[in-house]
Structure 1
Amino acid sequence: MRLRRKWWARPELEKDDKAVFDPIRYKGKWKGLFGNNHPIHLELGCGRGRFINELAKINSHINYLAIDVYDELLVYVLRKANESRLDNLKVISINAQNLGDIFAQDEIEKLYINFCNPWPNKRHHKRRLTHPNFLGLYQTFLKSESEIWFKTDSEFLFMDSLEYFAAARFKELYKTYDLHQSDFQGNVLTEYEEKFCAQGIKIKFGRFKNSK
């Protein structure tokens, strides 16, 4: 996804203490940054933040980190958080391949991957956020028995990802090829999800437990 640069995005983020610009210094110390001992949940590719903000509103006993590479998106995440006066949500501008630099072992208790780039060309499959290379990276900071929740509109990405999770020794807890017609309770919509559903596209969803 390419976004038009917004010159005002970074200055606005820099004025907000919910935006973290030196995440490496908090490796192993994220609970200290939040000022409590609550579990930390992480969303990769948070977009404009509808999903993560709703979770933070519902679950005040959980701390949330929203990650994206675009300041132009993160600024909207923070605007929503400030409108709701949330103190359990922070944002980080970083590429997912560098997550090992900022999180210590057992630091994250749940990971959300929503509508990531499917990278359909086979030579680009290693860039998928559910590829075994990335799953192995996540296991360096996910607690044992913690979960990854994965949603996508892409059936071929979902099918491949089921194999990826199995190869990385994640236990499949739940899967559906049509989330909105399934028996799953407690789904929180993302912006993309609402758009795809309006187009009649079925949402694929799975829960996977870190057994390593």
Structure 2
Amino acid sequence: MRMRRKPWARPELEECSFFITNPTEYKGKWSESFTRNQPIYLELGCGKGTFMAVHAAENENINYIAIDIKDEVLVLAKRNIEASFEEKGRKVDNVKLMAQEIAIIDEMLDSNDKIDKIYINFCNPWPKERHKKRRLTHTRQLNKYREFLKEDGEIWFKTDDDELFEESLEYFKESNFKIEYITYDLHNSGFEGNVTTEHEDMFSAQGIKIKFLKAIKN
């Protein structure tokens, strides 16, 4: 469903202390934008921010960058993050939220940024053949991530879509990533450390098994 435009979304975001209006200006120096110099995790397509809100509030020793494209979604992520930190009695000091087209993510990150981990949760599967290059896990994108992902850095990828998952396995191999862990039924796998997302809960309620892999940069 297409989200209705919210004229108030951008002004609210621009008033937010952890929203970055000009992400390309931080290219090569993201570590300097945070209060503390510590590992940086990146979520590509954060949606309403339920995943990021939990992760960042519970791990103050990690810095997080959360990206999506629409203000109408990001403003909800901003509110969810704030609410989660408030519950913990914390100020939001380890999250940067921004609107950015992920296809051109190399305009905002480079090899000097040293990202430790990337999360890709339930991205658009782009099932039509002519659209597959738009996938966040496509070889073209994975090669871009390699530029700013640290040696031995990780990508955690979750999806409900069988075809996307199977074809992504080939993309990771083509991009010289090592698949360290894989499951076709995450919730019954015994894997520890999973934080569910809004889409994940919805698909699981429908009886759809969640596919997950952890890939390592060689």
TM-score, normalising length: structure 1: 0.97
Structure-2 residue corresponding to 1:69: 69
Distance 2:123 2:201 in 1: 15
| Partner in structure 1 of residue 29 of structure 2 | 29
Distance in 2 separating the partners of 1:137 and 1:158: 19
Q: In 2, are the aligned partners of 1:106 and 1:143 still within 8 Å (CA)?
A: no
Tell me, yes or no, if structure 1 residue 144 matches structure 2 residue 151: yes
Query: Which residue number corresponds to residue 86 of structure 1?
Result: 92
Who is 1:161 aligned against?
168
Task: Could you tell me which runs of 5 or more consecutive residues in structure 2 were left unpaired when the two chains were aligned.
Answer: 86-90
TM-score w.r.t. the length of structure 2 is 0.94
Q: Aligned residue for 2:206?
A: 199
Tell me the equivalent position of 1:18. 18
Give 2:187's aligned amino acid: H
What percentage of aligned pairs have identical amino acids? 52
Aligned-residue RMSD, C-alpha = 1.0
Q: Aligned letter for 1:30?
A: W
Q: Report how many residues are paired.
A: 211
Distance 1:106 1:21 in 2: 21
1: distance between equivalents of 2:68 and 2:3? 12
**Does structure 1 residue 171 correspond to structure 2 residue 178?**
yes
CA distance in 1, matches of 2:46, 2:94: 15
On the 8 A contact 1:148/1:207 being kept in 2, the answer is yes
1:104 maps to: 110
